[in-house]
A and B are shown apart, each in its own frame.
Chain A
Amino acid sequence: MMDILLFILGVCSGVFAGLVPGVGVFTTLILLYPLLLELTLVQLLILYIPMASISQFIGSVPSLYFKIPGESTSFIATEYGHKLFIKGHVDLIPLTAMGSFVATVLSAVVIFSLPYLYENMFYHFMSTKFVFFLILFTGACLIATSKNNWLVSTAMIASGLVLGNVGFNPSTGKFFGTFGNDWLSYGIPLFPFIVALYVLPNIMKLDNSTATAKTMDNAYIRSISNFKQYFTKMISGSLIGMIAGFVPIIGKIVGVSASRALNQKSDKDSVIAAESSNNSSIFTAMIPLFLFGVPITLGEILIYNVAETNYDLQLEFRHIIGTWLLPALIISSGVLGLVLSWPLARYCTSIFKLPTTLLKTVFLTVVLASLLYMGFVKHMALYYIFVLLAFLPLGHLLRNKDVIPLIFSFIFAKISMTIFERIMI
């Protein structure tokens, strides 16, 4: 009974993490932290797997509808998918959900096969050189696929790397650009940075959609017959995500960037492939944890830290991967994600019936309330507001540019520098 309740909690918190801007899986886990300390390893997985999976399914809904990213991987959907959605490609919602489901099934197969695979092959994926190559590849993808002039994109990437490196880097033990300020040692927090640079400018130019519940139902039904047409995109996105998943911390971003690059001729294809990619990368990112007891994403690190108190994790994971538990959890999360996306998409159509000014006010309130809440939780509300206000002018200045290169390079700035330093030794 407790396990079922935890699974339901995982699903609900996955919806929460995917839907509310700025609140990703890691933040949701932090909010549930006291509960996590009471759980067994299996119960932690029963909670975590649906949460991580459902958040990816749901994250694309606000991204496509309102151009508000629910997750950091949703930027491809917001930037390249939202405009298509407004123009009438409402089938993007069911197609991305189906793509995510395909990725989930493929991941379940890989996870199920783990006991039969040669472990050593995974060591190569964990090597610094491989990660460094993927980061460089991602940078090239961002420049090649951005809608900006390549010089502008390169400048954005350079700026993102500088801004993202501000603060204390625990991997190198060095401070950068703090000017002796304690708050800057924390770095520039991602959430207010993204809100200033991307979310607020996009809310201000929010377009209206003519999508209704009926058109959404029709889109879902039509997508079933169109499924075959996009199947190869879903598979390619899933495979890319699987490989990129091995990149520590930023694997999902590497995956969506590469998926976008390979399908840049068609925005629709690239969004479907990217949304498939982020679902498969969250599961392959778990492979080092299951095989070697090495967590590589923030959520996994948290789960690992909680569980290692009571368990010999390597032994426990070896036992768990020999059972049906993981594939069953992954598949059931995928089925629920697919099913839940439909009513959620229908519900969102009614939000669009609101007058545009009211809609903008509602979104502004939700985003700013989330920002303040996150600031208070982290005991740095004033710093969050300061960062927001400091970057608003830049957001305004870049409102008509594709700022994805800037945001993505900001996110992977610290790890890039760390990997680069390691390569140089």
Chain B
Amino acid sequence: MKKLIITLFMTLVFVTKSVALDLIVPASAGGTYHKFASIIADDLKTQGYEINLVVAGNCVIGKKQWQDSESAIMINSEATNAVSKCHVTITEKNYAHNIFTAGWVIVSRNNSLGERMGVVSYMKNTVKDLDVKLVPYKNTTEIKAAFLAGEIDSAFLTTGRANEIENKVELINTQSEDKGDFASWKNNDLTLNYYLLSKNVGGEIIAIIKNNKTLIAIASKKNMIPITHDQLNTQVGYLKRNEEKWK
């Protein structure tokens, strides 16, 4: 037992941490954030930068890694920031770039919300004003499965995920001008922005990310062209206003 503890201790002592830019994924491995971060990391590595991809596992640890890091970029979104323990305030100083803006759609089997609507757990607040029972799911893929299985009558999905479902009625698209029966719903223009926060990162690195062809192609193909404003304060203001809708 003594030998075991000494071995563990020595291993820890002799493992040195390399100095590099931390690219923090405040989510589990293999998910959407991880994919976007990997695309960014590959690009930066090929251009000679040393990148330490940190897949935190969840947003609480992600926030901790962000706070502990000397130099970092973190992918964030209103969805992550909606969890109070994960909230990282966007400021003009730490905001770096908006990579995607996704719209939301309510789909149904018929023309009504029905009795039960599937919603991603951490965004229940965005739809709490609607007259329907909310059933929480981990992500939009689970909601899609539940909708197909007939467990829920309607579903609150990203535009991309909703497009994958055949034979559905689209009740509202938050990016469309026509709000239909949802004209008085305060969140009828809700979007989800995947944006980057940075600290102690040179402008040339952010410029490389902004011009990343793969990310630009995804945005175009998946109808997720990022909403960007020329003025930094307007951009941060837009994200903060949208964030309020998620609380």
Contacts and interface: CB of A to CB of B under 8 A. Distances in A.
A378 B57 CA distance: 8
B11 A380 contact: no
Contact of A171 (B58, B136, B151): B136
B30 A173 contact: no
Contacts of B59: 168
Contact of A128 (B35, B38, B141, B146): B146
Nearest to A305: B35
B29 interface: yes
A172 B137 CA distance: 7
B70 interface: no
B169 to A, nearest CB: 18
A382 B151 contact: no
B136 A368 contact: no
Interface in A370-419: 372, 376, 378-382, 385, 418
B136 A380 contact: no
Contact of B116 (A29, A296, A425): A425
Given A30-B29, A126-B149, A379-B65, A294 B54 contact: no
A364 B4 contact: yes
A123 interface: yes
Contacts of A170: 28, 58, 121-122, 138-139
Given A183-B61, A378-B55, A382-B12, A421 B136 contact: yes
B150 interface: yes
Contacts of A294: 141, 144-145, 148
B151 A185 contact: no
A357 interface: no
B213 interface: no
Contact of A185 (B34, B42, B61, B142): B61
Interface residues of B, number: 53
A298 B30 contact: yes
Contact of A292 (B11, B42, B121, B145): B145
Interface in B34-75: 34-35, 38-39, 42, 54-61, 63-65
A304 B141 contact: yes
Contact of A126 (B29, B32, B145): B145
Interface of B: 4, 7-8, 11-12, 15, 28-32, 34-35, 38-39, 42, 54-61, 63-65, 83, 85, 116, 121-122, 124, 133-139, 141-142, 144-146, 148-151, 164, 218, 221-222
Closest 3 CB pairs of A and B: A173-B121, A302-B30, A185-B60
Given A123-B149, A126-B148, A186-B57, 16 more contacts: A26-B29, A30-B55, A33-B29, A37-B42, A124-B149, A127-B149, A128-B146, A168-B59, A173-B122, A185-B58, A301-B30, A302-B29, A310-B221, A368-B4, A368-B8, A380-B57
27 contacts: A29-B30, A30-B29, A30-B55, A33-B34, A37-B42, A123-B148, A126-B149, A127-B151, A170-B138, A170-B139, A171-B137, A174-B121, A182-B63, A248-B142, A292-B144, A301-B30, A301-B141, A304-B141, A305-B35, A309-B218, A314-B164, A364-B4, A372-B11, A379-B55, A380-B61, A382-B12, A422-B135
